[in-house]
């Protein structure tokens, strides 16, 4: 494929701008879930949670079983809900957390996830504040990066819970995918939160859809987002989030598929997100050291090396200031 002079000049300009930019982030946690099939995720990073009676009137038991929590051998973690009894529950499902493995104050927290379809499913990627004397939930804080009602293929929500604004929190916002884009059930999407001492910003793909400032929180209660938080990813069945609805038997098994999880802290290093090394062409891999910052949004572009194929593209700088392209 030939490129016009205008295209080349534009690419050169963007590359030069990227080289001058301060990226603003340093990678602190990365899991691409590249282990063998039918194995648990890295125990140095993740706990497989066991809870036979979870909160929120949920209908599942979280169990440690490779039938519910495992790598698929293709680079994804799968959390699987099954219609099978466990204790007093009629369903089992999977949940992982990084408590005691990875915690951090502030930064960018993101995961690329494909969600399951079915009324009554409640997948979530979220964060809880560690109990450092704050008194437990909700006083230690909760940041819900993404929750989904399994009957809504194109709508997600983000929320914050704390003292005075928990449960049916006023600090919540829904996001609807643009018309024509793949649904949450049909493809992977990037869900992220950027959190600092005065705000939390929520993203779906490259779209900033909700900002909660410290002053917004203080209308209802204390700002409790100034200490370490850890990650949770789970697939609930039923529960209060969607009025206790239960999926039909035909919806099982259901899977949350997690392509990767990355966390950054404020710094000066590059963002290199989701352009998985094994998926890069040789040219793209060689170009990585020349990029100061880029961030994957799930967008694709025609591959130069494999006509008819699609490959990822960079979509926004670490500061959120517009787009940059892969410079080759």
Closest CA to 167 of 225, 220, 223: 220
Taking CA atoms, 304 is separated from 9, 70, 202, 274, 279, in Å, by 19, 34, 33, 19, 14
The rounded average pLDDT for each run of 10 residues, N- to C-terminus, in the chain (328 residues) is 36 34 69 94 98 97 98 96 97 98 96 97 98 95 98 98 97 96 94 97 93 98 98 98 97 97 79 42 46 38 48 39 29
DSSP states of 299-312: EEEE-SSSTT-EEE
Continuous segment of H or E residues that includes residue 212: strand 207-213
Tokens in use for 48?
């497989």
DSSP states of 69-131: EEE-SSS-EEEEEBS--BTTBSEEE-EEE-TTT--BSSEEEEEEEEPPPSTTEEEEEEEEE--
pLDDT at 24: 67
| Catalytically annotated residue among 147, 194, 284, 305 | 147
pLDDT at 6: 36
Taking CA atoms, 188 is separated from 8, 45, 50, 112, 239, in Å, by 31, 22, 27, 6, 24
Closest CA to 164 of 98, 233, 219: 219
Contact between 129 and 229 (Cβ < 8 Å): yes
For the beta carbon of residue 164, count every other beta carbon within 10 angstroms: 16
Contact between 180 and 168 (Cβ < 8 Å): no
Contact between 258 and 113 (Cβ < 8 Å): yes
Query: Which 8-state DSSP code applies to residue 283?
Result: H
Question: Catalytic residue at 60?
Answer: no
| Catalytically annotated residue among 49, 110, 142, 284 | 142
pLDDT at 307: 52
The domain segmentation of the chain, as residue ranges, is 5-23+269-316, 26-266
Gap between the Cα atoms of 325 and 291, Å rounded: 9
Contact between 206 and 315 (Cβ < 8 Å): yes
CATH ID of 26-266, from 1.10.3720.10, 3.30.70.330, 3.10.450.50, 2.60.120.200: 2.60.120.200
Question: Catalytic residue at 278?
Answer: no
């Amino acid at each position: 494929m030939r490129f016009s002079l205008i295209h080349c000049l534009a690419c050169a300009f963007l590359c030069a701008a990227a080289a001058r930019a301060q990226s603003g982030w340093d990678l602190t946690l990365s899991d691409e879930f590249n282990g063998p099939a039918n194995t648990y995720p890295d125990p140095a990073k993740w706990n497989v949670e066991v809870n036979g009676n979870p909160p929120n009137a949920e209908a599942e038991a979280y169990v440690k079983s490779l039938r519910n929590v495992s790598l698929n051998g293709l680079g994804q973690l799968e959390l699987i809900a099954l219609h099978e009894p466990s204790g007093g529950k009629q369903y089992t499902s999977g949940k992982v957390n990084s408590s005691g493995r990875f915690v951090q104050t502030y930064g960018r927290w993101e995961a690329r996830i494909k969600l399951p379809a079915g009324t009554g499913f409640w997948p979530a990627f979220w964060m809880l504040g560690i109990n450092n004397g704050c008194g437990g939930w909700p006083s230690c804080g909760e940041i819900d990066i993404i929750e989904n009602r399994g009957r809504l293929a194109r709508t997600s929500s983000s929320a914050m819970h704390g003292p005075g604004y928990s449960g049916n929190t006023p600090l919540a916002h829904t996001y609807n995918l643009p018309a024509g884009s793949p649904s949450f059930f049909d493809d992977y999407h990037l869900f992220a939160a950027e959190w600092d001492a005065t705000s939390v910003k929520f993203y779906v793909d490259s779209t900033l859809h909700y900002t909660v400032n410290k002053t917004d929180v203080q209308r209802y209660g204390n700002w409790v987002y100034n200490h370490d938080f850890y990650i949770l990813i789970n697939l609930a069945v039923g529960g209060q989030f969607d009025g206790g609805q239960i999926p039909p038997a035909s919806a099982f098994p259901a899977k949350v598929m997690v392509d990767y999880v990355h966390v950054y802290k404020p710094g000066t290093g590059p963002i290199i997100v989701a352009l998985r090394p094994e998926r890069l062409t040789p040219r793209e891999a060689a170009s990585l050291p020349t990029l100061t910052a880029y961030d994957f949004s799930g967008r694709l572009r025609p591959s130069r090396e494999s006509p008819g194929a699609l490959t990822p593209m960079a979509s926004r700088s670490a500061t959120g200031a517009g787009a940059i392209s892969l410079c080759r």
